[in-house]
Amino acid sequence: MHLPGKVKFRSRLLSELKIAIALLVILPASITNVQAAGDPADGERLARQWCAACHVVADDQTNGTEAVPSFTEIAKTRGFNEATLTGFLADPHPKMPDMSLTNREISNLASYILSRGN
Ligand code: HEC
């Protein structure tokens, strides 16, 4: 009978899975506490691709819409931090299109936008 061995293997696998899931939940939170989690260079690439139609996203961009705040303005004057900015991008309000960004894209964009305030 191989059954007991199989059952044992199953439950070990299960508890290892539980540990892996726990780490996945805990790790990102502890990383964001230490530093901005995103990659600002990739955020700039995304911004030029997805946001530049309305926002001035970089210094070398000459055309944009007056009515839409530039990313520098957003970083400097709107009082956003990493948490509020990622929150906004995950669930933008009506004047802005919902672009269904992934968490990774949101985090990179937030890092880029916040870097514009330096
Ligand atoms: C179709 C035009 C359009 C596009 C594309 C767009 N935005 Fe916006 N965005 C707006 C407008 C309009 C506002 C101003 C909303 C307001 O003042 O209520 C805004 C405001 C914002 C704000 C500030 C919100 C606040 O409360 O001050 C952030 C941050 C922002 N956009 C990020 C982005 C990012 C990141 C992208 C690209 C992924 C993007 N936007 C793409 C139109 C756009």
Atom from ligand 1 closest to the CA of residue 105: 38
Quote the pLDDT of residue 62: 80
| Alpha-carbon span 15 to 11, nearest angstrom | 6
Quote the pLDDT of residue 91: 84
**Residue appearing with tokens 């990102």:** 28
Quote the pLDDT of residue 41: 95
pLDDT per position as a tens digit, 14-27: 777 677 766 666 65
Name the CATH topology of 36-118: Cytochrome Bc1 Complex; Chain D, domain 2 (1.10.760)
Whole-number Å distance, alpha carbon 101 to ligand 1 midpoint, is: 13
Quote the pLDDT of residue 33: 43
Quote the pLDDT of residue 7: 66
| Alpha-carbon span 57 to 8, nearest angstrom | 56
Whole-number Å distance, alpha carbon 22 to ligand 1 midpoint, is: 34
Q: Which residues line ligand 1 (CB under 6 A)?
A: 47, 50-51, 53-55, 68-69, 74, 78, 85, 88-89, 95-97, 99, 109
| Alpha-carbon span 90 to 101, nearest angstrom | 7
Q: Which residue CA neighbors atom 17 of ligand 1 most closely?
A: 68
Tell me the average pLDDT of the chain.
81
- Is the pLDDT reported for residue 78 higher than 50? yes
Give the mutation target among 46, 74, 82, 96 for probing the ligand 1 site: most ligand atoms within 8 A of CB: 96
Which region holds residue 56: left if phi is over 0, alpha if psi is between -120 and 50, else beta?
A: beta
pLDDT per position as a tens digit, 24-64: 666 555 544 444 578 999 999 999 999 998 899 999 988 77
- Is the pLDDT reported for residue 5 higher than 80? no
| Alpha-carbon span 10 to 31, nearest angstrom | 32
Residues of the chain above pLDDT 70, percent: 76
| Alpha-carbon span 41 to 112, nearest angstrom | 7
| Alpha-carbon span 92 to 110, nearest angstrom | 13
Quote the pLDDT of residue 32: 45
User: Taking the model in full, what pTM does it have?
Assistant: 0.73
